[in-house]
Amino acid sequence: MATETETAQLSTSMITSDSRGKHRVVAELKRLEQETRFLEKELEELERTNKVSDVLPELLRNVGTRPDALLPVTKSPIDPTWDRWFEGPRKQQGCICCFFR
């Protein structure tokens, strides 16, 4: 009698684990199908867009010929003494400020 009970419990646990395994396989299959649909949509969008290499020369031409609207245009003569403020110290030993260290 004990062997029949053990056999029944074993078959019940196998059916339960088998249905769990099927559920996992079905869930993984659905996830893969969803990912495939997403990648197909993304591929279609990429096929519809223009190639960057076609647009890039025109963009570079526009950027190179037009001045930046946010930078002021100076019409006065260039003053070379202003450059010393942006070059930094000429001798490291002579500078005592911590900005250029």
Query: What confidence tens digit (pLDDT) does each residue in 81-100 have?
Result: 776 676 666 666 656 666 55
**Nearest of 62, 82, 85, 84 to residue 74 by alpha carbon:** 82
CA angle (34 as vertex; 29, 39 as ends), nearest 5: 125
pLDDT surpassing 70 at residue 11: no
Kindly tell me the sign of the dihedral angle through the C-alpha atoms of 48, 51, 55, 60. Answer: positive
Q: What is the pLDDT of residues 22-71, one digit of tens each?
A: 888 999 999 999 999 999 999 998 888 777 777 788 888 888 787 777 87
- 73 Ramachandran zone, left/alpha/beta (phi>0; psi -120 to 50): beta
Domain residue ranges of the chain, discontinuous segments joined by +: 8-35
Q: Which residue matches tokens 């299959």?
A: 29
Work out the pLDDT band at 10, boundaries 50, 70, 90.
Answer: low
Nearest-Å Rg of the Cα atoms of the chain is: 36
53 or 2, higher pLDDT:
53
pTM, two decimals, is 0.36
